[in-house]
Amino acid sequence: MKKLIILCAAAMVLAACNNQPKSMENQAINNIMTRVSVRNFTGEKISDEQIETLLRAGMAAPSAINKQPWAFVVIKDEAILAKLGEALPYSRCSNKPAIAIIPCGDLSKAIPGEMAGFWINDVSAATENILLAAHAMGLGAVWTGLHPDMNRAKMVQEMLGMPEHIIPLCIVPVGIPAENPDVKDKFNTDNIHYNAW
Ligand SMILES: Cc1cc2nc3c(=O)[nH]c(=O)nc-3n(C[C@H](O)[C@H](O)[C@H](O)COP(=O)(O)O)c2cc1C
């Protein structure tokens, strides 16, 4: 009887695995599907090597005409993290992240003229790469918005002494997770249109 129960349980686990889309077996796809925003951290530090990997991931992003119109400000100093957290509570910088990365648009490197606004897409792509890399490395992170709220963006520009052509897009606190939020299933076929609306 005991053997039969174990066999049934094993069959159920196998059946559940078979229901998973084949693509979920791929590590990179699984990493995308299981990323969540992490907003609370343990306060433990992360290594410079880990920070470099996050920045390399950011700069591996695609950008319009490959302009790479970005700059990344890394905040390691606890006093500055605390100051950011106090001024911008939604940025989660007071929740004990190890660091915060501030992906910025560098308008001096952006496409000139009407297409300049593509920097927002480029720096967004870099930000998502950082979030995915953090998750793959067992770290937690969350995108917290600045631009297009220019009050918030200007506050950060002033606090960190950024020149006018550097526009902070968001603040990404990164650290060892102190929480394990559930993955949200956002797949919705209503959002999909084939060939035409
Ligand atoms: C442009 C943008 C701005 C966001 N701003 C904030 C923010 O200010 N504070 C925050 O805690 N989360 C912020 N988030 C994170 C979202 O709340 C989060 O991505 C969303 O609830 C979906 O959850 P998930 O990331 O766990 O899938 C922001 C995300 C984006 C893309």
Contact between 55 and 101 under an 8 Å Cβ cutoff? The reply is yes
Report if residue 6 sits inside a domain.
Answer: no
Distance 90 CA to ligand 1 centre (A): 10
Does residue 142's CB lie within 6 angstroms of at least one atom of ligand 1?
A: yes
- Enter the pTM of the model: 0.91
70-75 and 144-145 as β-strands: parallel, antiparallel, unpaired? unpaired
Average pLDDT of the chain, as a whole number: 93
Distance 38 CA to ligand 1 centre (A): 10
| pLDDT at 146 (0 to 100) | 98
- Nearest ligand 1 atom to alpha carbon 131: 25
Q: How far apart are CA 84 and CA 139, in angstroms?
A: 21
How many structural domains comprise the chain?
Answer: 1
Q: How far apart are CA 130 and CA 51, in angstroms?
A: 10
DSSP per-residue codes, 128-155 = HHHHHHHHHTT-EE--EEBTB-HHHHHH
Report if residue 47 sits inside a domain.
Answer: yes
Please state the separation of Cα 56 from the chain's center in Å. Answer: 13
Contact between 113 and 40 under an 8 Å Cβ cutoff? The reply is no
Domain that holds residue 147: 43-180
Report if residue 98 sits inside a domain.
Answer: yes
Residue type, 143: W
Distance 173 CA to ligand 1 centre (A): 12
Distance 39 CA to ligand 1 centre (A): 10
Report if residue 85 sits inside a domain.
Answer: yes
Question: Reduced to 3 states, what is the DSSP secondary structure of residue 76?
Answer: coil
Chain segment 89-147, per-residue pLDDT in tens? 999 999 999 999 999 999 999 999 999 999 999 999 999 999 999 999 999 999 999 99
Chain segment 146-196, per-residue pLDDT in tens? 999 999 999 999 999 999 999 999 999 999 999 999 999 999 999 999 999
Q: Which residue spans within 86-129 are E strands per DSSP?
A: 99-106
Report if residue 155 sits inside a domain.
Answer: yes
Report if residue 92 sits inside a domain.
Answer: yes
Does residue 53's CB lie within 6 angstroms of at least one atom of ligand 1?
A: no
Does residue 39's CB lie within 6 angstroms of at least one atom of ligand 1?
A: yes
Report if residue 30 sits inside a domain.
Answer: no
Q: How far apart are CA 181 and CA 47, in angstroms?
A: 24
Query: What's 181's DSSP letter?
Result: P
Chain segment 18-52, per-residue pLDDT in tens? 556 677 789 999 999 999 999 999 999 999 999 99
Q: How far apart are CA 192 and CA 172, in angstroms?
A: 30
What's the Cα-to-Cα distance from 197 to each of 186, 188, 189, 190, 193, rounded to whole Å?
Answer: 20, 16, 13, 11, 6
pLDDT category of residue 85 using cuts at 50, 70 and 90: very high
- Percentage helix, strand, coil, to 5, in the chain? 50, 15, 35
Report if residue 176 sits inside a domain.
Answer: yes
Q: Cα angle at 105 between 102 and 107, to 5 degrees?
A: 150
pLDDT at 13 over 60: no
Does residue 111's CB lie within 6 angstroms of at least one atom of ligand 1?
A: no
- Nearest ligand 1 atom to alpha carbon 186: 27
Domain harbouring 110, CATH code: 3.40.109.10
